[in-house]
Amino acid sequence: MSVTEGFDPDGVKCVVWDLDGTLWDEIAVESATDDLPTPRPAALAAIDALAARGVLSSIASRSAPSVLDRLDAVPEVRARFLAPQVSWQDKSESLRRIAKDLGIAVDALVLVDDSPYERAEVEALLPGVRTLAPQDVPALLAAFEGREVTAESRERVRRYRTEETRKAEGERFEGSREEFLRWCDMRLTIGAATADEIPRALELAARTHRLNSSGLTPDRLRELASSDGHELYTARMTDRFGEYGIIGAALVDRTHRTDRGTPAAWSVPLLALSCRVAGRGAAAAFLFRLMERAREAGAEEFRVTLRPTDANLEMRILLRQAGLRRTDDTDTETATGTAAATAADSAVLGRTLQGDLPGSPAWLHVSDREETEA
DSSP state of 20: B
Q: Hey, what domains does the chain have and what are their CATH numbers? A: 9-144 (3.40.50.1000), 151-373 (3.40.630.30)
Instruction: Give residue 278's pLDDT.
Output: 87
Q: Can you give the pTM of this predicted structure?
A: 0.79
Instruction: Give residue 34's pLDDT.
Output: 79
**273 against 1, higher pLDDT:** 273
Instruction: Give residue 373's pLDDT.
Output: 60
DSSP state of 310: S
Task: Determine contact, residues 23/40, Cβ cutoff 8 Å.
Answer: yes
Distance CA 36, CA 24 (A): 9
Task: Determine contact, residues 267/253, Cβ cutoff 8 Å.
Answer: yes
Q: Closest Cα to residue 208, out of 88, 309, 346, 97?
A: 309
How is the beta sheet containing 130-132 ordered, strand by strand? 85-87, 56-62, 14-17, 109-112, 130-132
Distance CA 329, CA 322 (A): 19
Q: Residues 174-188: what's their mean pLDDT?
A: 95
pLDDT for 267 beyond 80? yes
For residue range 29-83, list pLDDT tens digits in order: 887 777 899 999 999 999 999 999 999 999 999 999 999 999 998 999 999 999 9
Q: Residues 270-285: what's their mean pLDDT?
A: 93
Radius of gyration in angstroms for the set of CA atoms belonging to the chain, rounded to a whole number: 22
Instruction: Give residue 103's pLDDT.
Output: 85
For residue range 186-243, list pLDDT tens digits in order: 999 999 999 999 999 999 998 888 899 998 999 999 999 999 999 999 999 999 999 9
